[in-house]
């Protein structure tokens, strides 16, 4: 599905009575105008192409080299994810050089045509060796743009974002550093049945049973990628491997990524 289709916001009315809400429509190349959502009169509606242009300009303004990793669009929600080329940390300093497990900074940009996700960005982390993406609502900054491009404080908002990226890459972001330290602790904690039960029933009880079962199956597979790393880091990567690399990702799979990342770190590091 093309995320960069033309859009328009049109008023809703019934029998001559005009609603305070508006329909957002996108121009499908084959089917014509299709409704993408309903929003309020003051909702800051931006075309995805404009979001992409802003994202490209912002990552180019930072001193960090970024590359585009993912693009997601389901007809309503839009996401771009960029991965830094250079690492910001290693998980295990005792490993041989060729085996060093590196973490890279990432940044996501979100937008929606139905009001479910306001235009904004979120920091994230990547595991370089397998490009598993880790999202977090607790440890990684999220920012929602409150004013549209061209507004009085727009440049100030962008400068603040660039500063956040640069200071994070320099190791000066305390929230990100806390998450990295949590990941390092996961790498030292073996996960037995009792710990697995604690994580599931005390920290991740709202994750669907099917999703949890798929994660545990990957984690315990003796022929799988994570059998030799039966620690907290292996469990987290079993989850992010599934959720980040889905062939058909959903908004729920991205939300579960953040919930599981925070839940596993909290369970082990509390």
Q: Name the pTM for this structure.
A: 0.91
| Runs of H (alpha helix) within 23-86 | 48-61
Q: Which residue's structure tokens are 């669907």?
A: 208
pLDDT at 153 (0 to 100): 72
Residues 6+ apart with CB under 8 A from 95: 101
What is the per-residue pLDDT for 98?
57
Greater pLDDT, 147 or 260: 260
Q: What percent of the chain has pLDDT over 70?
A: 94
Closest to 219 in 3D by CA, of 251, 176, 267, 264: 264
Cα 43 to Cα 200: distance, rounded to the nearest angstrom: 38
- Residue 96 pLDDT: 59
Give the integer Cα–Cα distance in Å for 252 and 255.
5
E strands, 74-164, are 77-90, 102-112, 120-127, 132-134, 142-144
- What are the residue ranges of helices labelled H in the chain? 48-61, 154-169, 174-186, 193-198, 209-220, 232-244, 251-269
DSSP annotation of 183 reads: H
Instruction: Report in angstroms the alpha-carbon separations of 229 from 89, 125, 148, 201.
Output: 19, 20, 46, 22
pLDDT digits (tens, 9 = 90+) for 102-148: 999 999 999 999 999 888 999 999 999 999 999 999 999 998 887 56
pLDDT tens per residue, range 209-241: 999 999 999 999 988 777 666 899 999 999 999
Task: Look at residue 167 in the predicted model and tell me its pLDDT.
Answer: 95
Q: What is the pLDDT of residues 24-71, one digit of tens each?
A: 999 998 999 999 999 988 888 899 999 999 999 999 999 999 999 999
Does the pLDDT value for residue 208 go beyond 60? Answer: yes
pLDDT bracket for residue 13 (50, 70, 90):
confident
Decide if pLDDT at 95 tops 60.
no
DSSP code, position 230: -
Helices (H) and strands (E) in the chain, counts: 7, 9
In the block, residue with structure tokens 């990432």: 106
Per the CB < 8 A criterion, the answer to whether 226 and 237 are in contact is yes
């Amino acid at each position: 599905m093309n995320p960069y289709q033309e859009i328009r916001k049109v008023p809703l009315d019934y029998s001559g009575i005009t609603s305070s809400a508006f329909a957002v429509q996108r121009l499908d190349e084959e089917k014509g105008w299709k409704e993408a959502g309903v929003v309020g009169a003051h909702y800051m509606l931006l075309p995805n192409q404009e979001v992409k242009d802003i994202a490209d300009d912002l990552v180019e303004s930072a001193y960090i080299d970024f590359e585009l990793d993912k693009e997601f669009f389901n007809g309503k929600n839009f996401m771009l994810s960029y991965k830094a080329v250079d690492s910001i940390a290693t998980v295990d300093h005792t490993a041989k050089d060729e085996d060093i497990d590196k973490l890279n900074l990432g940044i996501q940009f979100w937008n929606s045509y139905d009001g479910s996700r306001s235009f904004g960005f979120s920091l994230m982390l990547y595991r370089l060796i397998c490009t598993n993406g880790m999202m977090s609502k607790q440890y990684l900054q999220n920012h929602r743009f409150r004013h549209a491009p061209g507004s009085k404080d727009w440049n100030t908002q962008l400068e603040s974002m660039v500063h956040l990226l640069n200071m994070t890459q320099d190791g000066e972001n305390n929230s990100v550093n806390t998450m990295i330290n949590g990941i390092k602790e996961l790498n030292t904690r073996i996960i037995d049945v009792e710990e697995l039960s604690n994580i599931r029933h005390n920290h991740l009880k709202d994750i669907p049973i099917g999703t949890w079962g798929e994660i545990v199956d990957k984690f315990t597979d003796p022929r799988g990628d994570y059998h030799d790393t039966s620690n907290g880091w292996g469990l987290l990567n079993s989850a992010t491997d599934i959720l980040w690399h889905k062939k058909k990702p959903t908004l729920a799979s991205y939300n579960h990524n953040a919930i599981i990342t925070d839940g596993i770190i909290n369970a082990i590091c509390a």
